[in-house]
A and B are shown apart, each in its own frame.
Chain A
Amino acid sequence: MDLFTLTALLGDGLAVGSIYALTALGLTLVYGLLRVLHVAHAGVYAVGAYAGWWAFQKTGSFGLALGTGAVAGALLGLFLEAWFYRPLLSRPPHVALIGSIGLFLAVGDLLRILFGPYQQSLPALAPAPVVGMLTAPQLVVVGATAVLLLGVYFVVEQTRLGLGWRAMAQDALTAAALGVDLPLMSRLAFLAASLLAGLAGVLVGAYYNQVYPTMGAVLAYKGLAIVVLGGLGNLWGTVAAALLLGLLESLAVAYLGHRFPPEGVAFVALILVLLFRPQGLFSRARR
Chain B
Amino acid sequence: MYVVTILELLLIYALLTLSLNLVVGLAGQVNLGHAAFFGIGAYAGGTLLKAGAPFPVALAAGAAAATALGLVLGAVSLRLRGDYLAIATIGFNFAVVAALLYTPYFGGAYGLSGIPRGLAPSTYLLALLATFGLAVFIHERVRNSESGYAFVALRDSEVAAEALGLNVNRFKLVAFALSTALAGVAGVFYAAYIGTLRPEDFGFPLSVTLMAMLVVGGMGGLWGPILGAFLLGGFAQAFAFVHNYQAVLYGLLLALVMRYRPQGILGRVS
Contact = CB atoms under 8 A, between A and B. Distances in A.
Interface of A: 31, 35, 37, 83-84, 87-88, 91, 93-110, 113, 221, 224-225, 228, 232, 259, 261, 263-265, 267-268, 270-271, 274-275, 278
30 contacts: A37-B87, A83-B259, A87-B259, A88-B259, A91-B262, A94-B82, A97-B83, A99-B254, A99-B259, A101-B32, A101-B251, A102-B255, A105-B254, A106-B247, A106-B251, A106-B252, A109-B248, A110-B248, A221-B94, A263-B94, A264-B94, A264-B97, A264-B101, A265-B98, A268-B95, A270-B87, A270-B88, A271-B76, A275-B79, A275-B80
A268 B99 CA distance: 11
A267 B33 CA distance: 12
Nearest to A214: B247
A103 B255 contact: yes
B211 interface: yes
Interface of B: 30, 32, 76, 79-80, 82-84, 86-88, 90-92, 94-95, 97-99, 101-102, 204-205, 208, 211-212, 215, 244-245, 247-248, 250-255, 257-259, 262
Given A108-B247, A113-B245, A264-B98, A95 B258 contact: yes
Contacts of B95: 264, 267-268, 271
B211 to A, nearest CB: 6
A178 B66 CA distance: 52
Nearest to B258: A99
Contacts of A100: 255
Contacts of A228: 84, 87
A232 B208 CA distance: 23
Nearest to B211: A98
Of the listed residues B99, B102, B248, the one surrounded by the most CB atoms of chain A closer than 10 A to its CB is B248
A212 to B, nearest CB: 15
A221 B86 CA distance: 12
B254 A221 contact: no
Contacts of B83: 31, 35, 37, 93, 97, 232
A105 B250 contact: yes
A87 B256 CA distance: 12
Nearest to A101: B208
B251 A105 contact: yes
Given A99-B255, A109-B251, A278 B99 contact: no
Nearest to A274: B88
A109 B247 contact: yes
A148 to B, nearest CB: 26
A80 to B, nearest CB: 10
Given A37-B87, A274-B88, 8 more contacts: A96-B258, A102-B212, A102-B251, A106-B251, A221-B94, A232-B83, A274-B76, A275-B80
B264 to A, nearest CB: 11
A224 B86 CA distance: 10
Contact of A261 (B98, B208, B245, B253): B98
Contacts of A270: 87-88, 91
B176 to A, nearest CB: 15
B87 A224 contact: yes
Contacts, number: 130
A108 to B, nearest CB: 7
Contact of A274 (B87, B204, B262): B87
Contacts of B97: 264
Contacts of A88: 258-259, 262
A263 B98 contact: yes
Contacts of B258: 88, 95-96, 98-99, 102
A267 B94 contact: yes
A97 B250 CA distance: 15
B91 A225 contact: yes
Contacts of B211: 98
Given A106-B252, A271-B76, A221 B262 contact: no
Greatest chain A CB density within 10 A among B97, B211, B255, B257 is at B255
Most B Cβ at <10 Å: residue of A37, A101, A221 = A101
A166 B250 CA distance: 36
Contacts of B255: 84, 99-100, 102-103, 106
Contact of A94 (B30, B88, B91): B30
B219 to A, nearest CB: 10
B80 A261 contact: no
Contact of A109 (B90, B245, B253): B245
Nearest to A94: B30
A24 to B, nearest CB: 13
B102 A105 contact: no
A95 B28 CA distance: 12
A224 B247 CA distance: 21
Q: Which 8 A-B pairs have CB atoms at the shortest separation, nearest pair first?
A: A264-B98, A102-B254, A99-B258, A106-B251, A105-B251, A267-B91, A109-B248, A109-B247
